[in-house]
Amino acid sequence: MKFENTLEFARQLDEKDPLRKYRDRFLFPKVNNKPVVYFTGNSLGLQPKNAKDYVDEVMKDWSELAVEGHFYAKKPWWDYHERLAKPLSKIVGAKPEEITVMNTLTVNLHLLMVSFYRPKGKRYKIICEEKAFPSDQYMFQSQVKFHGYTPENAIVEIKKRKGEHNFRTEDILSMIRDVGDECALILIGGVNYYTGQVFDMQKITKAGHDIGALVGWDLAHAAGNIELHLHDWNVDFAAWCSYKYMNSGPGNASGCFIHERFHDQREISRFEGWWGTSKDTRFLMKPEFEPMPNADAWQVSNASILSMAPYLASLQLFEEVGMQALIQKRKVIVSYLEFVLQEIDKQVESTFEIITPANPKERGTQLSVFLHGEGKKIFDYLMQNGVITDWREPNVIRLAPAPFYCSFEDMYSFGQILKEGILKKANQLSSEL
Ligand SMILES: *Cc1c(COP(=O)(O)O)cnc(C)c1O
């Protein structure tokens, strides 16, 4: 498609957008009395308007039924979380029984590592990407120390080549072969949080299995964003948070995927609790742990219903729309944003550089832009003028136009505000000279 950087053209794209009506299903913050251009759906998705109804329903059932709500609420609480498994299984490409929703992301990755990071003999190393999300780094360090190793020795980081912004699949695969039978676990962010690079999860998972390692994915930036086929890719386990592209609300629950081949392994190492036991016998309060025959066996505590409610509300929207439609729009809106950035770049003295891969197969909803020079001031200008983005040291803003609620007109308006900001900066500097 041939793009144009005009308001008229952007509005034409919006008119043709089959998802345009979904914008109205979300609540937008306002700056200067206008809804913002929201680029931080990769950090905290906007609130779907139906979320409140789902929360209110729980509050009402609680007030009217109290403990009886576990069994007699409109959506009984004792198996409330099970309602999330099916819609999630479609989003991440799994069977519903391979999904469970519980706790929060880092907690879940730790719990999953109890099962899937079992260092033994010379096989004890973890392969991850360099500069992983800090929580993941702390997790790796504390896990290897917990097992008696040192991070220097037991954590192997995949590196980028000098001067390059992204990882090369061939480098990752050759690193995996090099570590070989010393590798116990490969655990990488499916989409890199900083650059937005999408990893070739299928190839990497296979390479890991070829050397006898287990392979898990942190899908914080991938779930609800890109196409996933966790079951078919033979991924061992994965987890994600729901408050980013899945719009479930701040700090909300995390989803886990555990491949079905592990479900009947009775001896698997696992930290257990009563919500992981068979539903048929759970309330007999027996001393023996009888696991659920699915991913729910990894659940520890009873579900946090007030956080499941807005998550379920948001999944309702995903059910309505479907991942395919979101992916379709995402490809166009991200390309359009890229085009707008390139156009602005031609009109002002070049001050920025997109560090996200240009190949649409290697990126999702996010473009990370390196702002040279006066980056922080341009960022401040954007924020003051209704463009919500985020700042990552040393000089990067991340722009994630979530296809659910961002419009093509938003991309155009952002371009204009960015240009204004850069020109004002330039004028200000020259008047100061
Ligand atoms: C957002 C994010 C997290 C956040 O973890 P919480 O446990 O939910 O606070 C972890 N890892 C990655 C890669 C993330 O992007």
Q: Full-prediction pTM beyond 0.75?
A: yes
Residue 35 burial by Cβ neighbours in a 10 Å radius (0-12, 13-18, 19+): middle
CA Rg value for the chain? 23
State the pairing for strand pair 214-218/237-241: parallel
Distance 241 CA to ligand 1 centre (A): 7
Tell me what pLDDT residue 380 has.
93
> SS3 for 267?
coil
Question: Is the CB of residue 104 below 6 angstroms from any atom belonging to ligand 1?
Answer: yes
pLDDT in tens, the chain (433 residues): 899 999 999 999 999 999 999 999 999 999 999 999 999 999 999 999 999 999 999 999 999 999 999 999 999 999 999 999 999 999 999 999 999 999 999 999 999 999 999 999 999 999 999 999 999 999 999 999 999 999 999 999 999 999 999 999 999 999 999 999 999 999 999 999 999 999 999 999 999 999 999 999 999 999 999 999 999 999 999 999 999 999 999 999 999 999 999 999 989 999 999 999 998 888 888 899 999 999 999 999 999 999 999 999 999 999 999 999 999 999 999 999 999 999 999 988 777 899 999 999 999 999 999 988 778 889 999 999 999 999 988 899 999 999 999 999 999 999 999 999 988 876 776 665 5
Question: Is the CB of residue 133 below 6 angstroms from any atom belonging to ligand 1?
Answer: yes
Tell me what pLDDT residue 285 has.
86
Distance 251 CA to ligand 1 centre (A): 10
Ligand 1 pocket test, pick from 44, 102, 104, 105 with the greatest ligand atom count within 8 Å of Cβ, gives 105
Looking at ligand 1, which atom is closest to the CA of residue 241?
8
Ligand 1 pocket test, pick from 140, 193, 195, 390 with the greatest ligand atom count within 8 Å of Cβ, gives 193
If you ran DSSP here, which 8-state letter would residue 45 be given? P
Tell me what pLDDT residue 332 has.
98
- Domains along the chain with CATH numbers: 7-42+322-432 (3.90.1150.10), 52-321 (3.40.640.10)
Distance 147 CA to ligand 1 centre (A): 23
Separation CA 291–CA 273 (nearest Å)? 10
Question: Is the CB of residue 106 below 6 angstroms from any atom belonging to ligand 1?
Answer: yes
Tell me what pLDDT residue 431 has.
64
Two tokens, residue 311: 């998550």
Looking at ligand 1, which atom is closest to the CA of residue 106?
7
Helices in 322-392 by DSSP H: which ranges?
Answer: 323-347, 375-384
